[in-house]
Copies of this chain bind each other. A is one copy, B any other.
């Protein structure tokens, strides 16, 4: 076993994208698991936009990452030593392992989930993990999607957005429209994932295209991006339409005051609703969604895409991919 634990620490709070000054690598000793603890070797890191928000010194649903602390992030690891009855050597576990080679499990933090044998680790990070759960509960529970709904999703070629569109399709949406930033991504979500239509928000007139694609208005808009696209979708919301606020990736690198959606007023006339959620609130219901996912996967009706990047040292660049749109599907760092 390696006798060095490489750790990526927050050195300075970024302004805009993460750069060379934001995160520094630091070598330390491999930690010793105490009684009731286990040592986990990190194998995969889940790269999520929310990690960028934790680097700001701003209130959020979790406290900011402290300067000098390991970058917080979910991952999958393998138990390599255990003084705990909860974990056996060889177990694959999921949890907030952080951007480092080794983590300690069982130290009072929210527990690690053991991944059942037969589930691919990258699947556990994606459709069975935070992204799939976010898509499932955001769409069906927060958004209360009903059969016959016209559903629009932004960030549609991303890990969450691509799952949202597929689940909407499988749940009886009348129409599923995805917004993505390249023609290639647009083709992928239509040809491979079964979206009805795709709009390249960088090259096409979004309002016009949405209007043509959703002539009766948007019943459910699943928002991963915020900004102009949110505002445009609000203007076209249908009677009793719902906006599910999942993320606002277009604003996470913005300094100072973020522009708001002036068209929120459409929610009054159309009796609409805009609601945010955090997937951690649904932890106890994950099995329900995972069962549905498993069924769809087994029938070949659900697909995932991964964008794998290699090496712990690549994690900062991997995070930036989410903001430049350089990924299709789930970004994962393999260690």
Q: Could you list which residues of chain A lie within 8 angstroms of chain B, going by C-beta atoms?
A: 59-61, 226, 231, 245-248, 251, 257-278, 281
Q: Give how many copies assemble into the complex.
A: 2
Alpha-carbon distance between A26 and B60 when the two chains are bound, in angstroms: 58
**Docked-complex contact B262 and A272, CB < 8 angstroms:** no
Which chain B residues lie closer than 8 Å to A281 at the CB level? 271
**Docked-complex contact B276 and A272, CB < 8 angstroms:** yes
Q: Which of B60, B251, B261 contacts A269 (CB 8 A)?
A: B60
**Docked-complex contact B275 and A267, CB < 8 angstroms:** yes
**Docked-complex contact B275 and A273, CB < 8 angstroms:** yes
The residue in chain B whose Cβ has the minimal distance to the Cβ of A275 is B273
**A236 CB, nearest partner CB in chain B, Å:** 11
**Docked-complex contact B267 and A271, CB < 8 angstroms:** no
Which chain B residues lie closer than 8 Å to A60 at the CB level? 269
Which chain B residues lie closer than 8 Å to A262 at the CB level? 257-260
Alpha-carbon distance between A61 and B59 when the two chains are bound, in angstroms: 37
**A331 CB, nearest partner CB in chain B, Å:** 20
The residue in chain B whose Cβ has the minimal distance to the Cβ of A230 is B264
A-B contact pairs, 5 of them (CB 8 A): A60-B269, A231-B260, A258-B263, A260-B261, A268-B276
**Docked-complex contact B269 and A274, CB < 8 angstroms:** no
**Docked-complex contact A265 and B226, CB < 8 angstroms:** yes
Alpha-carbon distance between A143 and B112 when the two chains are bound, in angstroms: 37
> Among the interface residues A263, A266, A272, A276, which one has the most CB atoms of the partner chain B within 10 A?
A276
Q: Which of B266, B267, B276 contacts A267 (CB 8 A)?
A: B276
**Docked-complex contact B260 and A271, CB < 8 angstroms:** no
The residue in chain B whose Cβ has the minimal distance to the Cβ of A270 is B276
- For the complex with contacts A226-B265, A259-B259, 17 further pairs of A-B residues with Cβ separation under 8 Å are A245-B265, A248-B265, A258-B263, A258-B265, A260-B260, A261-B261, A261-B264, A264-B264, A265-B276, A267-B276, A268-B277, A268-B278, A269-B278, A271-B277, A272-B276, A273-B275, A274-B275
Closest 4 CB pairs of A and B: A260-B260, A268-B276, A267-B276, A260-B262
The residue in chain B whose Cβ has the minimal distance to the Cβ of A258 is B262
